[in-house]
Structure 1
Amino acid sequence: MSDQPHSTATAEGTAPNRLDWRLMLPVFVIVSLDAASAGAILPILPFFLRDLGATPLVLGLVLGAEALSQFVAAPFLGQLSDRFGRRPVLLASQAGALISLSLLALANSVVFVLLARVLLGLTAANFAAAAAYAADNSSPTTRRQAIGVLSAGLGLGGMIGPSLSGYLSDISLTVPIWVALMLSASSIVITGIFLKGSSPVGRTAPGQDQTASEKVSFRSILTSPVIRILLIVLLCHYFSYGLFSSELAVFLGDTFVWNGHAFGPRELGYILTADGAINILVQLLLLKWLGSKFSERNLIVLVFCILTTGYVLVGVATEIPTLALAVLCISTGVALARPTFIAALSVHVPRQRQGVVMGSFQSLVAVTDIVTPAIAGAILGQSLYGAWIGAVVAIALAGAVIASSRLPKVDPEARAAGP
């Protein structure tokens, strides 16, 4: 697999050849705290809204509104971090998250929950700014390692937050929100005290080529047949997974009995914690080995097969072991999917177009996050559980069929090497 696209956005050319952990450790802690704060909300949000009288459709609309606000704001906030530096944008985003969590903790109606989540989406530039900071303070040879450090922070926070939420939700559904608020406040303190301020990146130097950024458009990228197929396959994955993940808590809450009682926030916390652990293990132990054994096309098909198996198991699960196996399959498939798809796009795109392709990729993912919660909420709002899981499986299988029949059989690297 080829290099991923963050090599297109280098810093000043003065980054060290080895990671400076005095610079990286604070941002690792910041990302972990922010991820833990966000993760603490996920298990309780569906049940918090249900207690306020919301239907599954309303939950889908809330999640879709949050994704829409993030889709609109993220590029603008990224430009601000280039102009004014990473630290100020991080602090502003964290302050917005703090206000959002305060509003959520005090919410007594669905409207206030909606406002809180929209505000969170508008200020959700934390990881993007942190990744830019890591790129500023790493060389091209250490940038992947630097981004990997931040990804590990995301995984760690994704384990800690839901785990805390699962235990604390037995006290009250608002307790995890206050804990998330404290985690977010701690992140602000560390950012303000320990994070070294980075200089603004600034505008493109007069001698640099601006053609790629000005003239390369999403439309021009679609002239490549392979890119078109890959984007369709990507949409199949993110659409099916968006339908599934946005309403999983509602589905299990309505249909699954956990040790004699209904599935609730604590059990969802267990699942999200396990998902974070599986994600880390897959990234560390499985992805590289599979990449060496499977071609690009076959690896994508394998990802869809693993995911489809997990989706079917969730649909038929009546006992905890079956559900655990389903979680293992789905978490493994999702952990493999993103780096596999990004690497596949990178292989088929010239170096000068990497940035615009990955930006378009992120936009497509955001669009599915906007649309799928509302669709899934409408289906489950009518208690059409079989139709919901059937749609998820059908779209994933369509992605597998398209990848198997339309993507090249031989990887570009192998073709270039010859027989």
Structure 2
Amino acid sequence: MLPVFIIVSLDAASSGAILPILPFYLRDLGASPLVLGLVLGAEALSQFAAAPWLGQLSDRFGRKKVLLASQAGALISLSLLALANSVVFVLLARVLLGLTAANFAAAAAYAADNSSPATRRQAIGILSAGLGLGGIVGPSLAGYLSDISLTAPIWAAWALSATSMLVTGVWLKSNTASGQTGGDAEEGGQVREVVSFRSILTSPVIRILIIVLLCHYFSYGMFSSQLAVFLSDTFIWDGHAFGPKELGYILTADGAINIVVQLFLLKWLGGRFTERNLIVVVFAILSVGYVAAGLASSIATLAFAVLCVSTGVALARPTFVAALSVHVPQQRQGVVMGAIQSLVAVTDIVSPVLAGLILGQALYGAWVGAVVLIALTGAVIARSRLPRIDPETIAAES
């Protein structure tokens, strides 16, 4: 697990170095909040189209090969982004990144290959902690380098991604979860993948989990995609306007909170709450954070909002991924992780654009209200429709 943890951390640091500067990078090129939303939505659309195929390819040809291909695509994307002199080139760079963004899906499938159903939530949690570690390093680096220029963090992200590719090539073991090696075996494996995916959709519990998952990611997508725009328009940070350095502080704190939650809080809560109740708790924490962010007029209130939202998101990812993955065969984890990434991308296509339309009209209260309403809808569906099943029972049945 150590190599894949390092790979996830480096990739997350690379992504994290871009996040604090991207809204301001686009704004310097003359982009509006709606254009920012369209860029993020286009990236998600390309990810939606590619993720299921990349997941199946990782099942057939191995996690390592898919990771290397996606990391090579990231290097090209970052080079194009650093050299961009118009919104069009930024758009092309992010679309390319979406087409090759199989990193976490392939890494999560690798973790699922090397864990049991009973320990899968903890295995995914370790990878999520890697995301948190990268979320500390990347934004911190971006906040420091943004004083030099907005392109300096992009080249730092390129270096981090190149290092991740090197670690993948040298250290990660090659494996194929399905055991297919070619020819007729691959063709047979493809048939079984289709049947397995259809069987996933026929399960009532899986269908409800998917709806709840989409509620979470749609609300969080609306919130996170336009948070920088909202704060730069409404928040005064220690006497000056909110900017990329301050966004870097928030994302760094988010990464630190993610690590603490994964290492100390996730297992404790997982042992005390049923799957259904844990999901409801996650939505409650997130809703409090969204409201606090919308009302924040001081750094302390904003810090409380970040604490709530970051805690909720850190709990949500392993909870949803583990709940879905334990219902499918071990050899089809890549398909499942790719499908999850694709479903999340569906929300990421629409949510930034919708949020950009709302904030473009300066309807800040409507933006926060929509985010909270969608999150609470997910909580109600989970509480009323999911069966009361303990995680240990699900693992035993799998």
TM-score range, shorter chain: 0.7 to 0.9
Matched, 1:285 2:291: no
Between the aligned partners of 2:57 and 2:197, the Cα distance in structure 1 is: 22
> How far has the Cα of 1:117 moved from its partner?
0.7
Pair 1:329 & 2:305 matched = no
Change in Cα spacing, 1:251 to 1:229, as seen in structure 2 (3 Å) is same
Gaps of 5+ in 2: none
Unpaired runs of at least 5, structure 1: 1-23
Q: If each structure's helix is expressed as a fraction of its own residues, which one has the higher value?
A: 2
Q: What is aligned with 2:353? A: 374
Aligned counterpart, 2:209 = 230
Equivalent of 1:213 in 193, 202, 210: 193
Note closer, same or farther for the CA distance 1:286–1:27 as it changes in structure 2 (3 Å cut). closer
Matched residue, 2:18: 41
1:405 pairs with 2:384 = yes
Identity %: 76
In structure 1, the partner of 2:83 is 106
Distance in 2, matches of 1:68 and 1:385, equals: 26
Give the direction of change, closer, same or farther, for the CA distance of 1:30–1:375 in structure 2 (3 Å limit).
Answer: same
Counterpart CA distance in 2 for 1:134 and 1:408 is 27
1:258 corresponds to 2:234: no
Task: Identify the residue that residue 198 of structure 1 maps to in structure 2.
Answer: 174
SS at match of 2:150: coil
Partner of 2:29: 52
Alignment of 1:337-348 (within 5 A): 337-345=316-324
Match of 1:69 among 42, 46, 57: 46
Alpha-carbon separation, structure 2, partners of 1:414 and 1:79: 28
| Counterpart residue number, 2:254 | 275
> For each residue in 1:40-70, what CA deviation from the matched residue of structure 2 results, as whole angstroms up to 9, or x when unmatched?
0000000000010001111111111111112
- For the residue of structure 2 that corresponds to 1:323, the secondary structure is helix
Deviation digits for residues 93-126 of structure 1 (CA, Å, limit 9, x no counterpart): 2222112111111111000000111111122223
Q: Is the 8 A contact 1:240 1:395 kept in 2?
A: yes
Cα distance, 1:195–1:378 mapped onto 2, change above 3 Å: same
Q: CA 1:173–1:413 in structure 2 vs 1: closer, same or farther (change >3 Å)?
A: closer
2:285 is matched with 306
Cα distance in 2 between the residues matched to 1:225 and 1:125: 27
Q: Deviations over 1:304-327 (max 9, x none)?
A: 111110000011000000000000
Question: Which of these residues, 365, 368, 372, is aligned with residue 386 of structure 1?
Answer: 365
**Structure 1 runs of 4+ with >6 Å offset:** 208-211, 412-417
- Whether the 8 Å CA contact 2:274–2:391 is kept in 1: the answer is no
CA separation of 1:189/1:232 partners in 2, compared to 1, >3 Å: closer, same or farther?
A: closer
Shift of 1:362: 3.3
The 5 A counterparts of 1:156-171 are 156-171=133-148
CA drift at 1:340: 2.3
Contact 1:38 1:180 (8 Å CA) reproduced: yes
**CA distance in 1 between partners of 2:164 and 2:392 (Å):** 43
State the distance in 1 between where 2:103 and 2:393 align.
38
The answer on whether the counterparts of 1:346 and 1:354 sit within 8 Å (CA) in structure 2 is: no
Shift in CA distance, 336/253, structure 1 to aligned 2, threshold 3 Å: same
Question: In the alignment, is the contact (CA less than 8 A) between 2:80 and 2:93 conserved in 1?
Answer: yes
Number of residue equivalences: 389
Deviation at 1:131, TM superposition (A): 4.5
TM-score normalised by structure 2 residue count: 0.86
Change (3 A) 1:82 1:210: closer
3-state SS, counterpart of residue 293 of structure 1: coil
Aligned residue identity for 1:215: V
- Secondary structure, counterpart of 2:271 in structure 1: helix
**2:219 corresponds to which residue?**
240
CA–CA distance in structure 2, aligned partners of residues 49 and 374 of structure 1? 15
Deviation string 1:231-286 (CA, Å, 9 cap, x unpaired) is: 32222211111111111111111111000111111111111111111111111111
- The offset of 1:399, in angstroms, is 1.8
Instruction: Tell me the distance in 1 between the aligned counterparts of 2:331 and 2:206.
Output: 12
